[in-house]
Amino acid sequence: MNYALLIFIPIVLIFYYNTISWLLESWIHNEYYSHGLLVPLISGYLVWNIRKELSTMEKKPSENGLIIFAAGIIIQGISVLWTIRFLSGISLLITIAGAIIYLYGWEFMKKIRFPFLFLVLMIPLPFVYMIVSPAQTISVFSVANVANFIGIPTIREGLTLKMSSGAFEVGAECSGINSMISLFTIGIIFAYILEGSNLMKATVLISTIPLAFAGNILRITSILIVANIYGQEAAINYFHDFSSLLLFGVALLGLFLVGRCFGRLRFKKIF
């Protein structure tokens, strides 16, 4: 056991207790980051999966790690002073990175760079709520056009879709942002385990955004179709929740097809 950990761990817990509490609270109560708890678990698994390689690596501790560690603590002080929680989350990762580099060296850090950088996805973005309203508008406009195109007379009034069977308001939870964040996270893992060119990986990752929006538009449209056939009550009380899983599955299939378009899919062995 590296006894320096007994020094670093208490320092991190003392300086980042409120930050860790905020992260846990966000994962529990922030609907856009309900996947946040899975991120460190996935990162931990990826590191554990290469534990044999890590154990045989020559450890070359670097004193530069202390500089990075100190920089993280300073950034934390700034984030606390100005109450910038996202910056506080980033500073936590910088501080941990400094400790790892000081204890095990740059080569060790390079070996675990993907699972470590993946941890950024557990930190709630500060501008998510700023894009919810535009996303709602895009969804409502698109759904109204699709519904009318397939023969379901629909009138758009603000964020409300009106049809003969009732009116449906597209709330923030139906903006598609939740699906976009979740699909983007899955897309990063998918791109990581795929063996192929960087262009393929980048295309797979970028495609998660239009796929999430397309899936959300299809989801809302499917609710209107059910309402048109079986009534508003059936659409809201029975089909609404099921539609989320159904259309997210369609978006995942689309993600797989995007990867397939770039050639034969080959996956790294990570299990």
Average pLDDT, the chain: 87
Q: Provide the pLDDT for residue 3.
A: 66
Q: Are 68 and 98 in contact (CB under 8 A)?
A: yes
List the domain boundaries for the chain.
Answer: 5-122, 128-260
pLDDT higher than 70, residue 266? no
Q: Which range among 49-58, 192-201, 259-268 has the greatest average pLDDT?
A: 49-58
pLDDT higher than 70, residue 264? no
Instruction: Average the pLDDT over 84-95 and give the result.
Output: 96
What letter represents residue 35's amino acid? H
Q: Provide the pLDDT for residue 92.
A: 97
Distances (CA, A) of 214 to 98, 135, 139: 41, 12, 9
pLDDT higher than 80, residue 6? no
Top pLDDT among 2 and 110 is at 110
Q: Provide the pLDDT for residue 267.
A: 56
Q: Residue 66: which residues within 8 A CB-CB, separation 6 or more?
A: 98, 102
Distances (CA, A) of 225 to 132, 211, 230: 24, 21, 9
Q: Provide the pLDDT for residue 268.
A: 57
* Residues 35, 15: Cα–Cα separation, whole Å: 25
Q: Which of 22-36, 57-71, 163-177 has the lowest mean pLDDT?
A: 163-177
Number of C-beta neighbours around residue 243 at 10 A: 18
Instruction: Average the pLDDT over 70-95 and give the result.
Output: 95
Tokens matching residue 10: 């208490």
Q: Are 204 and 255 in contact (CB under 8 A)?
A: yes
pLDDT for 166-220, tens place per residue?
Answer: 788 888 777 888 888 888 998 898 888 887 778 878 888 889 889 988 888 988 9
Q: Provide the pLDDT for residue 271.
A: 46
pTM: 0.86
Q: Residue 48: which residues within 8 A CB-CB, separation 6 or more?
A: none
